[in-house]
Amino acid sequence: MKSIVIHAAKDLRIEEQDAASPGPGEVQIKLATGGICGSDLHYFNHGGFGPVRLKEPMILGHEVSGHITALGDGVSGLSVGQLVAVSPSRPCGNCRFCNEGRHNQCLNMRFYGSAMPFPHIQGAFRQVLVADAAQCAPADGLSSGEAAMAEPLSVCLHAARQAGEMIGKSVLVTGCGPIGILCILAARRAGADLIVATDLSPFTLQMAKTAGADLTLNMAEDPQGLDRFMPDKGTFDILFECSGAAPALTAGISAMRPGGTIVQLGLGGDMSLPMMAITAKELELKGSFRFHEEFFSAVSLMQKGLIDVKPFITQTLPLQDAVAAFEIAGDRSQAVKAQIAFA
């Protein structure tokens, strides 16, 4: 089988590797579609992010779907030929955080395509994948591209849970890459009233409008675009900070109303915070990291037509053009979610 392997920054290779057979409780999957995530792009462009660096070749990818080709012993509820979305979240189930129900904080997490531990956790961008049956969400009625969007949508559903009650609230989304776009969809589904989105790219801002943002602001063209929301101590109840950029966070905080909640999703490295403003406005700052049980909810919401991700799958390239797919995925003038077709 062919796999997409990163060796160093800008050194992405398609390599032949042996396919595995499923053991007890596992399924074998013929991969159909894989979405390129921001973390994949960090490995591709920079060899890692922050203190996380590649120390050995690693298969990339964790946003995947495919069709089951074989069932291991003891597997029920799934069938050969069935399309499934595959959750990359594989907590141990035994550590103190798993026992507290905080599976996304598992001390022994095996998350596809992660260089955080060493040896690295190999990813899912391979033509044949063996996964635990518990990772597989039946995706009947969805396309393989939609099913592969379950992972980033789960990130945003977890962030929405961190934000708390949103009915009638005013929401600011900074950064309109895939996560920002999906946060707009999640916030609207959760009952947000006013949604304002900021970015630097006209293309992604147009996509934010398609996702349902009431107002979009190009901060490159109008750096003071949020000023109208700052009088009387600010407007927004909730900020989803999806860019990982300190200027976006600082501008967003200035537009927050007292008692608001900041949910930080963007992973751009350490940032300096305007602590005086956070303190004086009594803002609540929450991190949002990965997800767990939200994965099956993401698939269900798409199956019911309650969240439509199709307009945001902007490119699908064949496996042999993986390098071109990665280059396009990082171009915010033309891409929201670029995917790779494995079949």
Among candidates 173, 193, 194, 171, which has minimal Cα distance to 182?
A: 173
Asked if residue 333 and residue 208 are part of one domain, the reply reads: no
- CATH number, residue 231: 3.40.50.720
Region 26-48 average pLDDT: 96
Quick check: is 296 in a domain? no
* 8 Å CB contact between 54 and 120: yes
Quick check: is 298 in a domain? no
DSSP states of 28-63: EEEEEEEEPPHHHHHHHHHSEETTEE--S-EE---E
Quick check: is 294 in a domain? no
Residue numbers of the domain that contains 39: 2-149+309-341
Tell whether the model's pLDDT for residue 275 goes beyond 80: yes
Residue 343 confidence (pLDDT): 82
Asked if residue 317 and residue 236 are part of one domain, the reply reads: no
* 70-129 per-position pLDDT tens digit: 999 999 999 999 999 999 999 999 999 999 999 999 999 999 999 999 999 999 999 999
- CATH number, residue 15: 3.90.180.10
Residue 267 confidence (pLDDT): 81
Quick check: is 295 in a domain? no
Asked if residue 97 and residue 28 are part of one domain, the reply reads: yes
Region 253-271 average pLDDT: 91
* 198-246 per-position pLDDT tens digit: 999 999 999 999 999 999 999 999 999 999 999 999 999 999 999 989 9
Asked if residue 282 and residue 183 are part of one domain, the reply reads: yes
* 280-316 per-position pLDDT tens digit: 999 999 999 999 999 999 999 999 999 999 999 999 9
Tell whether the model's pLDDT for residue 269 goes beyond 80: no
Quick check: is 264 in a domain? yes
Tell whether the model's pLDDT for residue 176 goes beyond 80: yes
Provide the percentage of residues in the chain whose pLDDT is more than 90: 96
Query: In angstroms, how far is the first alpha carbon of the chain from the final one?
Result: 12
* 120-136 per-position pLDDT tens digit: 999 999 999 999 999 99
Distance of alpha carbon 70 from alpha carbon 7, whole angstroms:
31
* 324-340 per-position pLDDT tens digit: 999 999 999 999 999 99
The band of 51, judged by pLDDT with boundaries at 50, 70 and 90, is confident
Domain count for the chain, please give it.
2
What is the pTM (predicted TM-score) of this model?
0.95
Asked if residue 25 and residue 144 are part of one domain, the reply reads: yes
3-state class (DSSP) for residue 287: strand
Among candidates 255, 250, 248, which has minimal Cα distance to 233?
A: 255
Asked if residue 199 and residue 133 are part of one domain, the reply reads: no
Asked if residue 145 and residue 24 are part of one domain, the reply reads: yes
Asked if residue 255 and residue 182 are part of one domain, the reply reads: yes
* 8 Å CB contact between 248 and 241: yes
Asked if residue 173 and residue 71 are part of one domain, the reply reads: no
Token readout for 177 is: 């890459």
Asked if residue 326 and residue 223 are part of one domain, the reply reads: no
Residue 43 confidence (pLDDT): 96
